């Protein structure tokens, strides 16, 4: 429920500031490894494309892409980064 509200709030504010040059987007990450239980990691990883959990650095390229000043025509979007888990 909370993630869904974040997505809708992102869309609302993106529409609210439309025409000002401000872009608002959100990122919905999947499982990020942070010393979770081995059983959980193994089970979760079996549902991902690379058969492992992501690490914090996996988000850097998307963040750099969104922060660039050249990308002014992408706003109100939710970027799902979950190694295919939600498919």
Q: What is the pLDDT of residue 1?
A: 62
Distance CA 75, CA 31 (A): 25
Are the CB atoms for 55 and 33 separated by under 8 Å?
yes
Domains defined for the chain, CATH in brackets: 2-81 (3.40.50.720)
Distance CA 85, CA 32 (A): 12
Distance CA 24, CA 48 (A): 28
- The answer, yes or no, to whether residue 27 has pLDDT greater than 80, is yes
Which residues, including other chains, have CB under 8 Å from residue 61's CB and lie 6 or more apart?
none
- The pTM of this model reads 0.79
Percent of the chain residues past pLDDT 90, beyond the cut: 51
């Amino acid at each position: 429920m909370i993630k869904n509200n974040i997505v809708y709030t992102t869309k609302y504010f993106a529409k609210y500031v439309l025409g000002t040059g401000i872009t608002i987007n959100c990122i919905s990450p999947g499982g990020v490894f942070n010393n979770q239980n081995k059983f959980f990691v193994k089970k979760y990883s079996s549902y991902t494309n690379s058969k492992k959990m992501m690490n914090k650095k996996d988000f850097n390229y998307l963040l750099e892409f969104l922060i660039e000043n050249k990308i002014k025509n992408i706003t109100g979007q939710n970027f799902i980064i979950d190694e295919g888990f939600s498919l």
